Amino acid sequence: MINKSFLNTVENINKLFISLSNLVNSPVDFTKIEWLDSSGNIIDVNVPSLGYIQNELKRIDENIKRLMGLENASFIKNADGTVSKIISYDLEKSLTPPTSLPFNSKFSIKNNLFFENFLNPMLVVKFDVSNFATINTNKFIVRRVILDIDTDTKKSYFNAFLLNRTDINPDEYETDLIDNGINYTFDDNTFEITPTVHKYYGDFDVINISDVEMNVNEVIIKKKKYVLNTLKYSNALNVLPNSESIKINDLVRYKNSIFKIVNVFKDENAIILDRISGYDIIPVGANVLHIYNGDLVTQYLEVPVNKDEYQIIFIKPVDKIFNVTTNKWSNGVAFYSGDLVPDFDTVSSSLNEFYRNYVLDFGKVFNGITKEDFIPAYLGIKPDAPNLNPDDFKVVQINAHKNNDALIDEIKNKISEKIKIQTELDNIKNTLEQKKLTLFTNSNLTAEERNNLNKEIQNLTKEYNVKFTNYASIVSNLSLMKQSNPDLFESPKYRIRGFFEIPKAKKSPNTRDQEVIQFIIEYRYLNKNKSSVQTQQFNFRKIDGQVITASFSNWNVIKSPIRKKVYDEKLGIFVWDTEKVEDPNVVNINQLDIPISKNESVEIRIKSISEAGYPFNPLESDYSNIITIDFPDELIQDNGISNLLENIDKELTIANLRKELDGLGLSTHLSKSTFIGDKYFAHDSNQIASGFFNNAGNQISLYDKTLEMQSQIELLTSLLEKSKVYPFITIIEENG
């Protein structure tokens, strides 16, 4: 009996032969054949036609040819008819620069808020982009939306609806900001992600290569077995080296070819590989194979920030091969930079605090330079010198404010009164001298006349003392006024003062108008004959011993104030302010103030200083014309107070001494003294005690005693003349 399965096989063979004609000549890609299985069931089998097989072989052959001749890129045709582009990437070869660049002679602008890059240390926020970064994506476009939060209402909105959100829709946030009156600025920059390394690394020596047979799906195939020096490689996240072992499905690289490990022989340190890409043939040698597992250490996108910034950050990746990016931004992250906390050890609790304590902000310097709008010296044009007119200047007294006219009048009145009393004292003194002279020299005076003269002398002496007391009081008051008002006795101070016109700004094709901002003022003194003071010469010795004779310039140099700058809100920069010559509270750069004294003349010359090169190397003009200013004759005068009170302190000393001596009786003594001829008589005999006393015990004056003795002598003389007796007088000297 014939086996049923045999019959089915025969039937299948017959159907196959019948179908061969269709397979060869069919215009379609596949032909359906009915096939009987072992149970006799009919199975439809789609068999590719010969034409289809030929077309596929042709396509594959063309693709292989394209790939073999690949330099930069090529298109290959897939089985489904679609086309794919293959990019050539040399794992060892570096990029070559372009030979030329196209240029269209146009320029554009974009926001450039670059000052965050000038912080030291730089302040950054990190975004983990490991899930977005690929081998073809190593940079991102970052849009920082800087918000102008200048009111509490705006701040409250930010804190309530934006702060610390990570899901801000890039298509809707601008409308929300505008609705809440929040202005904002875009700061777009491209940043590369932080350089990273492959998570796994290691090199392998190929010691031996041999052929082995392997059974793959019941098919015996030959493969190469590579004996290595080790099966160990390292993990970048593990501090211990060689912490990993080669395993199936690991990747290794040789030059530009990638291989997958399909078998591992641990006891032999051997592996079997399948080629993934490339055509390089692995040789025996040192460091031939390299681990090539694609995992990378975490990659971060670091975005610079600054203090006190309210911002929203969006990113989108850039394909480095095609240099294209997506049309849509990522969802945004909103935060206030001042509240960020450090991810390192520091005593600062926030970014703002760390900024204040440790960050050196060069951006402030550059921002200040930008706002100041400096013009460098090499772009400057020499300024014009001012034109000086001597009629625009005059000599003025600068300390006239110290003159107190009321006080001066009071002092002059007291001085007049003092002089009047001095005259009266002199007259009384002369009268006293005449009275005393009469008293001492007139022998014909009777006793009554002598008494009258003495009374007159006493009255005159009393009058003299009263007036002298008044005199001393006035002198004391004048001395006190002098001490209390020293300003009255200062010499007048004079200055040459006036204004001159500021030269006009210089026009430049390279910069804005260049203004004059300061002046160098030079002056020297001349004597009354308009001749300069003789130049003095000095010798000094150089380090090599050479003696140099130097002439000392008589020119004195001063600089005017710097012209002030004001901030122009419209331009966003500082501009030079206009001088306010009408305002007495403003010191202008074009005003002159030079000291001068009586009988002097002053020569003056001036240079202009340009803003170009300021403050390091400003341009200067030539000297102006020289003018001469003379001290005017009408100012050579004085209020006279200094001369009038020059000796007042001496007079006060004499008056005080006179008071002390009067207390000792000097006035009484002097009132009885006189000169007779060239001889001085301190007292008359009536004022000298004789040393004798009367019966009442009172001292007898020398005059009375002398008068008594004279009476006795006259009596004795009369008696002797009557008795004709002549006395014999013997005088015994002191020595016996």
Q: Where are the domains of the chain?
A: 4-85, 123-195+299-359, 200-291, 405-484+647-687
> For residue 71, what pLDDT band results from cuts at 50, 70 and 90?
very low
Residue 421 pLDDT greater than 90, yes or no: no
Position 344 scores a pLDDT of: 76
Higher pLDDT, residue 603 or 365: 603
Find residue 192's DSSP bridge partners: 139
Average confidence (pLDDT) over 168-180: 93
**Residue listed under structure tokens 């320029």:** 107
Lowest-confidence segment of 1-5, 43-47, 95-99, 442-446 by average pLDDT? 95-99
Residue 371, judged by CB atoms within 10 A of its CB (0-12, 13-18, 19+), counts as middle
Q: Is the pLDDT of residue 533 over 80?
A: no
Q: What pLDDT was estimated at residue 674?
A: 58
CA distance 319 to 321: 6
Is the confidence at residue 69, as pLDDT, over 70?
no
Separation CA 45–CA 29 (nearest Å) = 13
Q: What is the mean pLDDT of residues 286-312?
A: 86
Q: Which of 275-289, 365-379, 535-549 has the lowest mean pLDDT?
A: 365-379
At 45, list the tokens. Answer: 């089998």
Yes or no: say if 129 and 193 are a contact pair by the CB < 8 Å rule: yes
Q: Residue 385 has what pLDDT?
A: 97
Least confident of 14-28, 114-128, 414-428, 555-569: 14-28
For residues 303 and 688, the model is more confident at: 303
Sign of CA dihedral 604, 610, 613, 616: positive
Element (H, E) at 470: helix 447-484
Least confident of 275-284, 296-305, 306-315, 569-578: 296-305
| Lowest-pLDDT range of 163-172, 270-279, 605-614 | 270-279
pLDDT-based confidence at residue 115 (cuts at 50, 70, 90): low
| Structure-block tokens of residue 175 | 């409308």
Q: Mean pLDDT highest for which of 52-61, 493-502, 699-708? A: 493-502
Per-residue pLDDT tens digits for 221-241 = 888 999 999 999 999 888 889
pLDDT band at residue 141 under the 50/70/90 scheme? very high
Report the b/e string of 444-462 with b at 16+ CB within 10 A: eeeeeebeebbebbeebbe
Residue pointed to by tokens 């063979």: 13
Q: What angle do CA 325, 311, 300 make, to 5 degrees?
A: 50
Q: How many helices (H) and strands (E) does the chain have?
A: 12, 37
Q: Compute how many other C-beta atoms are within 10 angstroms of the C-beta atom of residue 356.
A: 11
DSSP-assigned letters across all residues of 253-293: EETTEEEEEEEEETTTTEEEEEEEE--PPP-SEEEEEEE--
Q: For residue 560, give Cα distances in angstroms to 282, 391, 436.
A: 83, 21, 75
Q: How far apart are CA 409 and CA 415, in angstroms?
A: 10
Binned at pLDDT 50, 70 and 90, residue 430 comes out as confident
379-402 pLDDT per residue, tens:
999 999 999 999 999 999 887 766
Distances (CA, A) of 322 to 326, 481, 575, 702: 12, 97, 47, 144
Topology given in CATH for the domain delimited by 123-195+299-359:
Immunoglobulin-like (2.60.40)
- Residue ranges of alpha helices (H) inside 574-698 are 641-644, 648-663, 666-671
How do residues 675-705 score in pLDDT, each as one tens digit? Answer: 555 565 556 666 676 677 777 777 777 677 7
- pLDDT score at 735: 73
pLDDT interval class at 173 (50, 70, 90):
very high
- Per-position DSSP letters for 118-151, written without gaps between them: GEESPPEEEEE-TTT-BTTB-EEEEEEEEE---S
Q: Which of 144-158, 568-582, 635-649 comes out lowest in average pLDDT? A: 635-649
pLDDT score of 92: 45
Query: Sorting pLDDT into bands at 50, 70 and 90, what band is 310?
Result: very high
Beta-bridge partners for 222: 213
* pLDDT attached to residue 670: 58
Q: Report whether pLDDT(338) > 50.
A: yes
553: exposed, middle or buried (Cβ count in 10 Å: 0-12, 13-18, 19+):
exposed
Please report the pLDDT score of residue 101 as a whole number.
43
Collapsing DSSP to helix, strand or coil, 525 comes out as strand
Write down the mean pLDDT value for the chain. Answer: 80
Q: Determine the Cα–Cα distance for residues 259 and 226; give it in Å rounded to an integer.
A: 12
pLDDT class of 728 with cuts at 50, 70, 90: low
> Residues 703-724: what's their mean pLDDT?
73
Mean pLDDT is highest, among 132-146, 566-580, 675-689, for 566-580
pTM: 0.49
pLDDT in tens, 439-464: 777 778 787 887 888 788 788 888 88
Pair of tokens at residue 607: 């240079």
Q: Where is average pLDDT lowest: 145-149, 300-304, 312-316?
A: 300-304
- The pLDDT confidence band at residue 371, using thresholds 50, 70 and 90, is confident
